[in-house]
Amino acid sequence: MSFEKHILICGGTGCLSSNSAEIAESMKAALKEKGLEKKVQVVLTGCFGFCEKGPIVKIMPENTFYVEVKASDAAQIVEEDIIKGNKIEKLLYIDPKTNKTVHEGEKMEFYQKQQRIALRNCGMIDPECIEEAIGANVYMALGKALHEMTPETVVNEIKLSGLRGRGGGGFPTGMKWGFAAKNHADQKYVVCNADEGDPGAFMDRSILEGDPHSIVEAMAICGYAIGASIGLVYIRAEYPLAIKRLEGAIHSAREHGLLGKKILGSKFSFDIEIKYGAGAFVCGEETALIHSMEGDRGEPTSKPPFPAEAGFWGKPTNVNNVETFANIGAILLKGGEWFKKIGTEKSSGTKVFALAGKINNVGLVEVPMGTTLREVIFEIGGGIKNGKKFKAVQTGGPSGGCLTEADLDTPIDFDNLILKGSMMGSGGMIVLDEDNCMPAIAKFYLEFTVDESCGKCTPCRVGNKRLYEILEKVTSGKATMEDLTTLRTLGETIKDTSLCGLGQTAPNPILSTVTKFWDEYVAHIKDKKCPAGVCTALLQYTISPEKCIGCTACARVCPTKAIEGKVKEKHIIIQEKCIKCGACMSACKFGAITRG
Amino acid sequence: MACNNCKGNATQKELFDKLGAFIDALPTKEGALITVLHKAQGIFGYLPREVQEYIACKLEISLAKVFGVVTFYTYFTMTPKGKYPISVCMGTACYVRGSEAVLEDFKRELGIGVGETSADGMFSIDALRCVGACGLAPVVLVGEKVYGKDAAKKVKEIIAEYKKLG
Ligand SMILES: Cc1cc2nc3c(=O)[nH]c(=O)nc-3n(C[C@H](O)[C@H](O)[C@H](O)COP(=O)(O)O)c2cc1C
Ligand code: SF4
Ligand code: FES
C-alpha cells in the first residue's frame, strides 16, 4: 500500500462526541471527488490527547495539526492543504502565550514535555486494523518472548524494568508475575482490570480505544510468563467503543494466529474473553472484581489469600491494570534496562494522566515520572482557564487528596505524592481554581464513596455516611467546630478499620482538604460564608437599588417567580422563594445583582 | 428446559424466547448471571420482576440471588427509561465545571428526580460518572447524542428539542 499522505482523524470518545466520524466521511467524499482516494488515506485513530480543542485532524507526513475541525472544513482541507500544500491558518492551533499559530503538533507546548510509551500507538494507527498494529511493531514482543525467552527471563526482564502497577497500588509488576508463576495449578488466569472507576479519568478507556492490540499482546505475554492459557478483560459496560474495538482486536488476533492454539508456531496456547462490569466502583478492587466475574455481587474479601494464590474460581490469577499492560510490549522490545532509566529511581517509566477541570488544555498526557506538577499544569496544561487563580489539584480520585500551590514543584511519583498527602491513583488529575469550594469538593467525593460502598463492613458503610452528613452541615452553615474534630477522628478510624481499599481511602479527600484548607472550613462554620461562592445555602442574591433600572429581565428568567417589581421600578428578590440558581444574575445587563 | 414459573404475556413471549435461547446457548451456566442480565436488559430495556423470575428459573438459582445482583450494580435498572433518556455526567471533571447546576435544572424543568421517568414516559434522568468526553465538560447525553460545554447548559432548549420530536 503506498499512500502519499495520511489524514488522521481522532476517533476517541471525546472527538467522536463532536462528530469526528462525520468529518472522516466528508473527507473521504472530498478526496473521491478529486480522484485522490488511492493516494490519500483517511484513518480514524485513537485519542491524540488534546481533547480540549477536538475534533483534531492531523495531516501526515507533514504533521500539520488542525483543531476544532468541522465536517464542512473537509473540502477546504483537501483543496488547500492536500492539493496545494498550503496550511489553513484558521484551523491551526494558536499558542495562547505567543498568539502565533503552531503548524506542527510536536512544536506545541502541550506535547513538548510528554513522552509516550503506554500511548505510543494511540492516535498513530487505525485501532480497528491489525495490519497497522503489526506495522507499528505490536506482537513483535510476543514473538520475541515465545521464541527467544523462557517464562523466567520474561519475568526477570519486567522485574528489571522496575515497572509498578498503574491501577493505583503501585505494586511491582515483575514481582506479582513471579508469585503467580510459582503457584502451580491445572489452570491459571490473566486478568486485565479495565474497570476504571475513578470518575473523571479516561486513560484506560483511551488506551483500549486507541491501541487494543497492545493490550491483547501484553496479556498473552503475561500468560506465557506465568503459565496461564486464559485471559479475561473486565471492562465497564459504559465503555461501548472500547468494548467494540477490543472485541474486534481479539477476533482479528485469533484470525492471524496470534491468539488461540500454538501461537506463532510455539507450544503456547492462549485466548481472551471479555467480562462486562455493571457500574460499581468497588469492582475495580481486585477481589471484588473476581467475584463480579464469577457472576456475583462485587463484594471484596480480605487478603490473603491474594489472587496470585486463589483468584478466579479459586485458581492462581494475575490482575493488572490496562496501562500496566500497555507498557509490557515496549519493555520486552527495548529492554528492562531502557525502561529503568526513564523516570525516577523508585518509580520508573512514565504515567498517563487524564488532565481535566479548570485547565486550558483538557486532555490525555503521558509524562516521565519525576515531571513536576507545575510542568504538567502550567506548561502542558497551559495553565488555568479564563485567567483565574490556581487553587488546588486533586489526584487519586475518590481515594486521593488535594495538592496546593506549595506542592507544585513536587516531582510526580508514587512515593512523593503520598508524602505530600495525596496519591498517584490511577491517573485522574483534576485542576481546581478559586471558584471551587473545597468542602464542597470533599462532599462530592464522599457522596460518591457513600454511594459506591458495598456495605459489607460497618466503618465504611456507616462511618462514611456520618462523614457525609457532617459535610452537609458544613456546606449549609450548620456545623460547629467540634464537627471538624469529628471529621478528623472519625476519618482516621474509618481508614484504620475498613476491610478494603475503598473504605481505607474514602476519608482522604476530607482529611487532606481539612488540613490544607482549614480556613475555608472555618469560614463556613464561624462566618457562615462560602468564600468561593459555591454553597448555595450560604449565598444570597440581592438587587442593588442604585443600579436596577426596572427592565424586568431578571423577573422573567426567575424559575420560581421570586423577583417582584413593575416595569421601570426597582425590583426585589423574595429570599424565601429564591432557589439561588443565579439565572437572574446572568440575565441582568446592568450588573445590578450581587451574590454574597 | 421446562420452566413452569415463567410467565410473560403474549406480546412479550418473543422477548422471553429470545432470552431463553441466549441462556440455552451458553457454554456453562456457572457464573453467567451478570452476562445474562446484560443480555436481558438489552432485550427488555429494564429488568422487571418477571424477567428476574425467568432468569432465576432458567439458571436454577434463587430469585433472591438475582435480585441481590441486580440491585448491587447501578447499570441494571428495574424501572423503564424514558423515550429520551437524559444522562447528566457527574464525573469530577464535569462536576467542577458546573454539572450539578445542569442536573438541578433538568430535575426542576421535568419535575422528576434522578432515576425517575416522567409520567408521559418521554424523559428519564440519570446521573453518570464520566463518559470520557471531559474536554467537553459539562456533558449531557440524550440517548446517544452528546451535548457539551455551553450547549449542555441550555436545559430548556434541549428539552424543547425533544418535545417537538414527540
Ligand atoms: C476501591 C478500589 C477501586 C479500584 N479501582 C481500580 C480500577 O478502576 N482500575 C484498576 O486498574 N485498578 C483498580 N484498583 C486497584 C486493583 O485492586 C488492583 O490493585 C490493580 O488492578 C492491580 O493492577 P496493577 O498492579 O497493574 O496496578 C482499585 C482498588 C480499590 C481498592
Ligand atoms: S471498605 Fe467499603 S467497599 Fe470495602 S468491603 Fe468494606 S463496605 Fe465494602
Ligand atoms: S467527567 Fe464528565 S465526561 Fe468525564
A516-528 as b/e: b if 16+ CB within 10 A: bbeebbebbbeee
CA B166 – CA B157 distance, rounded (Å) = 14
Which structural domain, as residue segments, surrounds residue B93?
84-165
Express each pLDDT in B97-112 by its tens digit. 889 999 999 999 999 9
CA B66 – CA B56 distance, rounded (Å) = 6
Q: Name residues 12-31 of chain A within 8 A of B (Cβ).
A: 12-14, 17-18
CA A381 – CA A7 distance, rounded (Å) = 26
Contact A550, A571 (CB under 8 A): yes
- What number is the ipTM of this complex? 0.88
* Residue B108 and residue B158 share a domain: yes
* Residue B89 and residue B24 share a domain: no
CA A98 – CA A103 distance, rounded (Å) = 13
Q: Global pTM?
A: 0.92
The answer to the question of residue B5 being in a domain is no
* Residue B90 and residue B68 share a domain: no
Which ligand 3 atom sits nearest the alpha carbon of residue A199?
1
Are B105 and A363 within 8 A, CB to CB?
no
Distance, C-alpha A110 to centroid of its chain:
17
Express each pLDDT in B36-72 by its tens digit. 999 999 999 999 999 999 999 999 999 999 999 999 9
Q: Name residues 116-175 of chain A within 8 A of B (Cβ).
A: none
What does DSSP assign to residue A18? T
For A5-112, CATH number out of 3.40.50.300, 3.40.30.10, 3.40.50.360, 3.40.50.620 equals 3.40.30.10
> Counting ligands in written order, which one lies closest to the CA of residue A200?
3
How near does any CA of chain A get to the CA of B137, in Å? 8
Domain tally for chain B?
2
Q: Which residue spans of chain A are classified as CATH 3.10.20.600?
A: 350-433
Report yes or no: A401 at the B interface, CB cutoff 8 Å. Answer: no
Distance A167 CA to ligand 1 centre (A): 5
The answer to the question of residue B78 being in a domain is no
Q: For residue A254, give Cα distances in angstroms to A130, A211, A260, A270.
A: 11, 17, 6, 10
For A539-595, CATH number out of 3.30.70.20, 3.40.50.920, 3.30.420.130, 3.90.1150.10 equals 3.30.70.20
CB pairs under 8 A between A and B: 133
Considering only CA atoms, which of A203, A333, A232 is closest in space to residue A290?
A: A232
Q: Which residue spans of chain A are classified as CATH 3.30.70.20?
A: 539-595
Cis peptide before A127 (omega within 30 of 0): no
Report yes or no: A444 at the B interface, CB cutoff 8 Å. Answer: yes
Residue from the list A237, A281, A397 with its beta carbon closest to the beta carbon of B38: A237
Residues in chain A: 596
Classified by CATH at the fold level, domain A350-433 comes out as Ubiquitin-like (UB roll) (3.10.20)
Q: Which of A290, A303, A454 to mutate for ligand 2's pocket (most ligand atoms within 8 Å of CB)?
A: A454
> Counting ligands in written order, which one lies closest to the CA of residue A423?
1
The answer to the question of residue B77 being in a domain is no
Express each pLDDT in B72-125 by its tens digit. 998 999 999 999 999 999 999 899 888 999 999 999 999 999 999 999 999 999
CA B30 – CA A557 distance, rounded (Å) = 57
Q: Which residues line ligand 2 (CB under 6 A)?
A: A 282, 300, 453-457, 460-461, 498-500, 502-503
CA A560 – CA A551 distance, rounded (Å) = 18
Contact A463, A413 (CB under 8 A): no
Q: Name residues 50-109 of chain B within 8 A of A (Cβ).
A: 68-69, 72-76, 90-97, 101, 104-105, 108
Q: Which of B29, B44, B72 is the last residue of a domain?
A: B72
Distance, C-alpha A136 to centroid of its chain:
25
CA B46 – CA B116 distance, rounded (Å) = 13
Is B133 near ligand 3, meaning CB less than 6 Å away?
Answer: yes
pLDDT of B6 > 70? The answer is no
Q: Name residues 15-54 of chain B within 8 A of A (Cβ).
A: 30-35, 37-38
If you search the block for the grid coordinates 454553597, which residue do you land on?
A535
Are A430 and B73 within 8 A, CB to CB?
no
Residue from the list A202, A313, A559 with its beta carbon closest to the beta carbon of B134: A202
The answer to the question of residue B79 being in a domain is no
Q: Which of B19, B47, B72 is the last residue of a domain?
A: B72
Average of pLDDT values for A26-36?
95
What is the predicted pLDDT for the residue at A429? 95
3-state class of A100 per DSSP? coil
The answer to the question of residue B14 being in a domain is yes
CA atoms within 13 A on the CB side of A220: 34
B70-84 as b/e: b if 16+ CB within 10 A: bebbbbbbeeebbbb
Express each pLDDT in A469-515 by its tens digit. 999 999 999 999 999 999 999 999 999 999 999 999 999 999 999 99
Q: Which of B43, B72, B101 is the last residue of a domain?
A: B72
Phi-psi region of A564 (alpha: psi -120 to 50; beta: other; left: phi over 0): beta
* Residue B58 and residue B127 share a domain: no
Express each pLDDT in A256-295 by its tens digit. 999 999 999 999 999 999 999 998 999 999 999 999 999 9
What is the predicted pLDDT for the residue at A1? 52
Report yes or no: A201 at the B interface, CB cutoff 8 Å. Answer: yes
The sign of the CA dihedral B20, B21, B22, B23 is: positive
Confidence of residue A355 (pLDDT cuts 50, 70, 90): very high
Looking at domain A130-339, its CATH superfamily turns out to be NADH-ubiquinone oxidoreductase 51kDa subunit (3.40.50.11540)
The answer to the question of residue B3 being in a domain is no
* Residue B88 and residue B47 share a domain: no
CA A10 – CA A16 distance, rounded (Å) = 8
CA A322 – CA B38 distance, rounded (Å) = 23
Alpha helix segments (H runs only) across B4-119: 10-24, 33-44, 49-59, 63-72, 92-96, 99-110
Domain spanning A438-527, CATH class:
mainly alpha
* Residue B68 and residue B96 share a domain: no
CA A74 – CA A54 distance, rounded (Å) = 15
* Residue B135 and residue B67 share a domain: no
Q: Which residue spans of chain A are classified as CATH 3.40.30.10?
A: 5-112
